[in-house]
A = this chain, B = another copy of it.
């Protein structure tokens, strides 16, 4: 088992990565305030893992309220959130009850926001079951739901007490979702870890073949990168850089996701396309060479990720991007690459170059 720590003073917490962690109650039990858990998951994951986890916890005397939500990003909304609140209140969960998220990013974000807001906050534990959530959304305390006007518009920062990444859950992960997770993994290399980017170029085939050791290393190294960034800028308040750098490709990506309607394109797929758009723009600003942009595009392609965006038209892209949370006082701040392995936030890209970068990724 690999073990990392996210250092956030009294909100610090461990990330545990390894095989067969789901049934090891010794890892979860010491993190509970009382022996009561609201276990939030979706219909698909409930079939696969709920029994294993629930049995293990019940055996050590933990009372469980299972809350099984419909599957998919389309359900990351008020209605699902209220299903959680209703179930918790009906089953008399209280301030000592821990909310446990068993699932991918949608479940983690929803359950985390419920934990942040149920009776003004209860303990929260993440058990991410997708590669994407293991390397990204389960770490760092961002929780929330979507609004018809944009993704993650409503939410809170709420740190978990523990993140438990059981790599066994990746065995049942569809290939498309594995690739979506690889998009965020590649992102860490691009923004701050060139040696890791090179490691990924060397080991991409093994990762796609779900080699357990390679996956565990990639998860650990990704979480290490994320933990360092989060520790330095917990609430994304740094004026330049900081946590915002984790959003490479995300402003373009959110526009793609919203423009297509939630759920058409996976988040990781949108991030892949968005990262190539950011790279194209970085090249236009003179920061990357054409060869480096090709290298980025080619790594995403090797991970079976799309690198061309939907033809929404540049005007629609700009409009959707202007709703992004990173807009402050009307200015669009983009995460771009100053060089391979070094991201910066930038608010001064000329609009015609932004348009050109988008269009270079929306060819026929």
Contact = CB atoms under 8 A, between A and B. Distances in A.
Interface in A41-84: 78, 82
Interface string A104-144: 00000000010011111100000000000000000000101
B153 A325 contact: no
Interface of A: 34, 36, 78, 82, 85-86, 89-90, 92, 94-96, 113, 116-121, 142, 144, 147, 149-150, 152-157, 235-236, 322-323, 325-330
A146 to B, nearest CB: 11
B156 A323 contact: no
Nearest to A150: B89
Q: Which 5 A-B pairs have the closest CB atoms?
A: A89-B149, A119-B325, A120-B155, A96-B328, A34-B329
A156 B116 contact: yes
Copies of this protein in the complex: 2
The A interface is mostly helix, strand or loop, or mixed, namely: mixed
Q: Which of A120, A147, A236 neighbours the largest number of chain B CB atoms within 10 Å of its CB?
A: A120
A194 B153 CA distance: 47
Q: Which of A89, A90, A142, A326 neighbours the largest number of chain B CB atoms within 10 Å of its CB?
A: A89
A33 to B, nearest CB: 8
A88 to B, nearest CB: 9
A232 to B, nearest CB: 16
A90 B118 CA distance: 27
Nearest to A157: B120
Nearest to A141: B120
B323 A89 contact: yes
Contact of A149 (B90, B113, B147, B328): B90
Contact of A325 (B34, B94, B147): B94
A35 to B, nearest CB: 8
Contacts of A330: 92, 94
A289 to B, nearest CB: 34
B120 A117 contact: no
A279 to B, nearest CB: 26
B154 A85 contact: yes
B327 A94 contact: yes
Given A34-B328, A36-B329, A120 B94 contact: no
Nearest to A78: B78
A94 B329 contact: yes
A328 B235 CA distance: 29
Given A113-B117, A121-B235, A156-B156, 16 more contacts: A34-B328, A36-B329, A78-B82, A90-B149, A92-B330, A94-B329, A95-B326, A96-B328, A96-B329, A117-B154, A117-B155, A119-B153, A119-B325, A120-B144, A120-B152, A121-B157
